Copies of this chain bind each other. A is one copy, B any other.
Amino acid sequence: TEKGVEALDAGRLEATSPYTVGSFLSRLDVDGRREVLRLIPLEHTTSILSEMDAEDAADVVEAMREPRAVQILEELDPDDSADIFNEMEAADRERLLGKVDDETAATMRELISYGPDTAGGIMTTEIATARPSMTVIQTVRHIQRLNDELEHIFYVYVVDEENRLLGVVSMRDLVMHGPLDYLRDFMTRDLKGVCRVDMDQEQVARLMAELNLNAVPVVDADNRLVGMVTHDDVLDIVQSEATEDIQKLMGAGGDEAVNDPVFQSIRRRTPWLLINLVTAMIAGSVVYAFEDQISKMAILAACMPVVAGLSGNTGAQTLAILIRSIALGDIHSGEDRRVCIREMFKGLMNGLLIGLTAAVTVGALTGNPMISVVIFTAMVMAMCFAGMAGAFIPLMLNKLGFDPAQSSNIFLTASTDIFSFAVFLGLGSWILL
């Protein structure tokens, strides 16, 4: 990367998308970042920072000379700026909030007060508003004056004198209507996608996806308009929620990335492995309880991985479907029991089929039909249990308010391992010995 920095020139950096420069910068240390950003004009720097992870962007801003940091924090979209303030050390935050202009400081304090994962935390406060009594031409002149300040205008929100939301007109509506038409005569009053500031960001994303909206207005408890969430914020949320789910499910950190510092990612994975060590030892002690039987019949030890592996995978299949269904809101209340029974049935059916295949194969290899009976019975029971557990565990965790992606796989693997070892070795000792 050292070499990379030297080879860069300002022209090439400007021609590259801010996202790409941002992900390149995320991999440099603080000195490297400063060196690269020195090559880039202020305007381009703000686009790059807004594409970077807020944590990395905060590191960059904290390392800048104060006047430049202040200038950048004022220039950035307020939602991006607030994310960066959120990630700063408390001392740096207070110092810089004291230096930016009063308006920015007030907006920042407001935005920081909302949780970062709520509509209030991801919204922009740069919105165009108008009154219902304005005409198209008045509105156009009004937003032409705002133009410089507003990065994305899709909609003009129509509000009353207390800033309560009455309706919306799109840029397209303005183009389509005569210059003297009043907004009140053609504005859309029936706003389907309005969010409260405290709505969870995943719900906001789901709402916008379902209603195919470009942007949704955000209101406070008194229905006063405070901001707007745009489609590009939502796309980022959907991407990162999916990444979190997939990584948590497999026992890695939800926000871990491939280029994170090595020791940071080791530290994040260790606790999960320690929990896994405990559950694996419990499973091992179930096996240990059958020490005598295994000594007499070591074939039991050889068949254990087959029963445990297949029931683990049956549970994992169900778990994956359930995690996504819960995330996308496809399971409705009162359906939990039905879903568990269906998944248990799917496990049973595949257990009969796979169990029979395994039993025939093992029987043919060992010449011992009684082992086949044990394998078949154990696999049917274990896979039936695994299907049920793969649905029950995430549904229950979700109901109790835990993140179903984070902890389901630990409990699932532990329960399918323990159940399959106990059933297989129990049946084995009873039938074979």
Contacts and interface: CB of A to CB of B under 8 A. Distances in A.
Interface string A284-319: 110110111011101111111110111001101111
A28 to B, nearest CB: 14
- Label chain A's interface by main secondary structure: helix
Contacts of A7: none
A298 B266 CA distance: 33
Contacts of A333: none
Contacts of A421: 305
Contacts of A154: 172, 214
B209 A235 contact: yes
Contacts of A325: 257-258
Given A325-B257, A357-B277, A302 B330 contact: no
A370 to B, nearest CB: 17
Contact of A345 (B262, B296, B320): B262
A283 interface: yes
A417 B330 contact: no
Contacts of A238: 235, 238-239, 242
Contacts of A170: 171
Interface in A165-181: 170-172, 174-176
A235 B245 CA distance: 17
Given A242-B238, A301-B294, A281 B251 contact: no
A346 B277 contact: no
Interface string A84-127: 00000000000000000000000000000000000000000000
Given A258-B330, A259-B330, A298-B295, A317 B272 contact: yes
A210 interface: yes
A232 B212 contact: yes
A208 B231 CA distance: 11
Contacts of A276: 309-310, 313
Nearest to A236: B209
Given A247-B320, A269-B346, A320-B247, A280 B258 contact: no
Interface stretch (A16-24, A31-39, A56-64, A67-75): A16-24
A314 to B, nearest CB: 7
A239 to B, nearest CB: 6
A257 B323 CA distance: 11
Interface of A: 17, 19-20, 23, 51, 140, 143-144, 147, 153-154, 170-172, 174-176, 192, 208-212, 214, 231-232, 234-236, 238-239, 242-243, 245-247, 249-252, 256-259, 262-263, 265-266, 269-270, 272-274, 276-277, 279-281, 283-285, 287-288, 290-292, 294-296, 298-306, 308-310, 313-314, 316-325, 328, 330-331, 339, 342, 345-346, 349-350, 353-354, 357-358, 361, 413, 417, 421
Q: Which 4 A-B pairs have the closest CB atoms?
A: A242-B242, A250-B320, A171-B171, A288-B302
7 contacts: A258-B325, A269-B314, A269-B350, A291-B302, A294-B294, A304-B305, A309-B413
